[in-house]
């Protein structure tokens, strides 16, 4: 089966079947504008054409194992053709109507994966405890967006103005380190940002990195129409190495130079991600260091309360500690936001993807160790 997004194969199919170019545009609009993922539902195409397309092309290159929902999120567990599982999460941002006092859906964010599990090994992240299984290809990455928009279409229908609910923001913050798979994520950008496809603005697509020199250097050189987030988590090298072990190979000083280079090249601000962990990186002196580091930089700091990890005993910072940290950093004229935690109930929150797999792995290790002791 060929990918529907392989332009060469699609063009060869068009010529072989003597189709007018507008038929390809109809096909693309069905997927990217009308969010259809089944050829049989593309009723503006002839029955024979739909049958031929089904024989040669596929839209979603993976299966769906489970879907878990709570009031704030939907978590998808997908399975690739080679049997690897990975997750993506829809987050539902709501607001309360000031007149009716009724809570309504405001926008939808999709957090997608770029690798099956992860090798970075941040101590507070579930996915990093699982290790890397594989890099995902373009169609596996893009397929998450296509599937999610179809799911939203079926779940929510249309808005009051009859426009469709769709993913408004896409963040490469799921499983994996995106810039370790840069060649594959960058070829999804045209589908996400071009008006021929989803047409999202650069502010609506964000690539998050733990700081990988080669990937960052390539990203800066290409200057793609997307935003950049840097998972910094600490303002000094020693603390960062403790929290992000891969940081010993990618020094903070050089990473900050690359952030400055990115700002100069793109004109965009950098979003700095900072997981708040009790008595690890949330102390006032660390806040002052963070403020000094980001002072006079085009930066926006996102503080993210730590989420439970079955492999390590850490605690989230208290609300009082987070507020004090925020106030201190803001005193250096840095913009700071405390991220809303969403999806904790279904383990869909930041740093929790792969929770069930890790919990099961730890359970098996414990049973094996117990059996060995008893023997």
pLDDT band at 362 (very low <50, low <70, confident <90, very high): low
Element (H, E) at 153: helix 138-156
Question: pLDDT tens digits, residue range 9-34?
Answer: 999 999 999 999 999 999 999 999 99
103 and 11 share one domain: no
Residue 344's pLDDT is 78
Burial group, residue 192, by CB count within 10 angstroms (0-12, 13-18, 19+): buried
Residue 8's pLDDT is 96
Question: pLDDT tens digits, residue range 245-278?
Answer: 999 999 999 999 999 999 999 999 999 999 999 9
- Cβ count within 10 A of residue 336: 23
280 and 184 share one domain: yes
The answer to the question of residue 129 being in a domain is yes
Q: Is 80 exceeded by the pLDDT of residue 365?
A: no
How is the beta sheet containing 103-111 ordered, strand by strand? 62-69, 73-80, 85-96, 103-111, 169-172, 205-209, 227-231, 270-276, 299-305, 335-338
Greatest mean pLDDT among 155-169, 203-217, 330-344 lies in 203-217
The alpha carbons of the chain give a radius of gyration, in whole angstroms, of 22
214 and 186 share one domain: yes
Tell which wins on pLDDT, 231 or 354.
Answer: 231
- Which CATH number does the domain housing residue 154 bear? 3.20.20.70
326 and 194 share one domain: yes
Strands 131-135 and 115-118, bridge-based pairing? antiparallel
Residue 372's pLDDT is 59
Strands 205-209 and 85-96, bridge-based pairing? unpaired
* Residues 6+ away with beta carbon under 8 Å from 88: 75, 76, 78, 110, 111, 112, 113, 144, 148, 174
Residue 105's pLDDT is 93
Section 355-373 average pLDDT:
67
Q: CA triplet 206, 343, 339: central angle to 5 degrees?
A: 50
> d(Cα 314, Cα 306) in Å, to the nearest integer?
8
Which of 87, 140, 273, 316 is the catalytic position?
87
> d(Cα 57, Cα 61) in Å, to the nearest integer?
10
For the chain, the residue count is: 375
> d(Cα 27, Cα 224) in Å, to the nearest integer?
26
The answer to the question of residue 265 being in a domain is yes
Residue 93's pLDDT is 94
147 and 257 share one domain: yes
Q: CA triplet 153, 155, 160: central angle to 5 degrees?
A: 70
47 and 80 share one domain: no
32 and 72 share one domain: no
284 and 253 share one domain: yes
Distance of CA 179 to the CA centre of its chain: 12
Q: Is 80 exceeded by the pLDDT of residue 150?
A: yes
pLDDT band at 46 (very low <50, low <70, confident <90, very high): very high
Residue 240's pLDDT is 98
- Which CATH number does the domain housing residue 36 bear? 1.10.150.530
Which of 111, 118, 122, 350 is the catalytic position?
350
Bridge partners (DSSP) listed for residue 185: none
The answer to the question of residue 188 being in a domain is yes
131 and 258 share one domain: yes
Bridge partners (DSSP) listed for residue 69: 74
Select from 156, 157, 153, 218 the least CA-distant residue to 183.
Answer: 218
The answer to the question of residue 373 being in a domain is no
Q: How far is CA 199 from CA 170, 186, 195, 196, 204, in A?
A: 12, 15, 4, 7, 10
Residue 355's pLDDT is 80
Q: Is 80 exceeded by the pLDDT of residue 102?
A: yes
The answer to the question of residue 251 being in a domain is yes
38 and 80 share one domain: no
Question: pLDDT tens digits, residue range 315-361?
Answer: 999 999 999 999 999 999 999 999 987 877 777 768 778 888 777 77
> d(Cα 273, Cα 279) in Å, to the nearest integer?
18
Residue 316's pLDDT is 95
Residue 38 lies in domain? 2-58
The answer to the question of residue 300 being in a domain is yes
The answer to the question of residue 369 being in a domain is no
Q: Is 70 exceeded by the pLDDT of residue 371?
A: no
pLDDT above 90 covers a percentage of the chain that reads 81
DSSP letters, 44-105, are: TS-HHHHHHHHHHEES--EEEEEEEE-SSEEEEEEEETTS-EEEEEEEEEEEE-TTT--EEE
Please state which of the ranges 55-59, 177-181, 344-348 shows the lowest mean pLDDT. Answer: 344-348
Select from 212, 214, 210, 194 the least CA-distant residue to 142.
Answer: 194
Domain count for the chain, please give it: 2
Residue 368's pLDDT is 63
The residue behind tokens 């996915």 is 127
Residue 77's pLDDT is 96
Q: How far is CA 81 from CA 89, 140, 141, 165, 264, in A?
A: 20, 10, 13, 29, 41
Answer yes or no: 87 catalytic: yes
pLDDT, the chain, mean: 93
Residue 109's pLDDT is 97
Residue 269's pLDDT is 98
The residue among 13, 28, 58 that closes a domain is 58
Distance of CA 225 to the CA centre of its chain: 16
49 and 187 share one domain: no
The answer to the question of residue 370 being in a domain is no
Bridge partners (DSSP) listed for residue 79: 63, 85
Question: What is the pTM for the complete model shown?
Answer: 0.93
Answer yes or no: 350 catalytic: yes
- Decide: 169 and 227 in contact? Cβ < 8 Å: no
The residue among 14, 32, 58 that closes a domain is 58
> d(Cα 221, Cα 215) in Å, to the nearest integer?
10
The residue among 11, 33, 58 that closes a domain is 58
> Residue 221: helix, strand or coil by DSSP?
helix
119 and 203 share one domain: yes
């Amino acid at each position: 089966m060929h990918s529907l997004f392989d332009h060469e194969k699609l063009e060869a199919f068009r010529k072989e079947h003597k189709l007018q170019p507008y038929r390809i545009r109809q096909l693309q609009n069905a997927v990217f504008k009308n969010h259809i993922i089944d050829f049989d539902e593309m009723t503006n195409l002839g029955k024979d054409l739909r049958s031929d397309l089904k024989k040669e092309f596929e839209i979603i290159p993976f299966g769906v194992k489970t879907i878990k929902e709570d009031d704030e999120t939907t978590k998808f567990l997908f399975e690739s053709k080679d049997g690897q599982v990975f997750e993506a999460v829809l987050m539902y941002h709501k607001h309360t109507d000031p007149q009716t006092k009724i809570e309504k859906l405001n926008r939808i964010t999709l957090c997608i994966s770029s690798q099956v599990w992860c090798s970075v090994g941040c101590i507070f992240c579930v996915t990093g405890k699982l290790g890397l299984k594989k890099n995902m290809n373009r169609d596996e990455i893009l397929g998450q967006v296509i599937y999610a928009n179809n799911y939203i279409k079926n779940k929510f229908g249309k808005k009051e103005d009859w426009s469709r609910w769709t993913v408004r923001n896409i963040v490469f913050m799921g499983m994996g380190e995106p810039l370790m798979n840069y060649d594959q994520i960058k070829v999804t950008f045209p589908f996400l940002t071009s008006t021929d496809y989803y047409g999202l603005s650069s502010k609506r697509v964000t690539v998050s990195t733990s700081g990988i020199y080669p990937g960052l250097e390539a990203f800066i050189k290409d200057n793609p129409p997307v935003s950049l987030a840097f998972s910094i988590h600490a303002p000094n090298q020693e603390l960062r190495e403790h929290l992000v072990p891969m940081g010993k190979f990618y020094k903070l000083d050089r990473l900050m130079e690359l952030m400055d280079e990115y700002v100069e090249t793109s004109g965009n601000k950098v979003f700095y991600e900072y997981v708040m962990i009790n008595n690890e990186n949330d102390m006032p002196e660390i806040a002052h260091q963070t403020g000094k580091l980001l002072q006079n930089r085009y930066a926006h700091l996102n503080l993210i309360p730590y989420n439970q990890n079955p492999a390590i005993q850490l605690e989230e910072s208290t609300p009082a500690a987070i507020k004090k940290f925020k106030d201190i950093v803001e005193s250096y004229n840095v913009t700071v936001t405390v991220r809303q935690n969403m999806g904790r109930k279904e383990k869909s929150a930041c740093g929790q993807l792969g929770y069930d797999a890790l919990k099961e792995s730890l359970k098996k290790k414990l049973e094996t160790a117990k059996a060995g002791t008893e023997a």
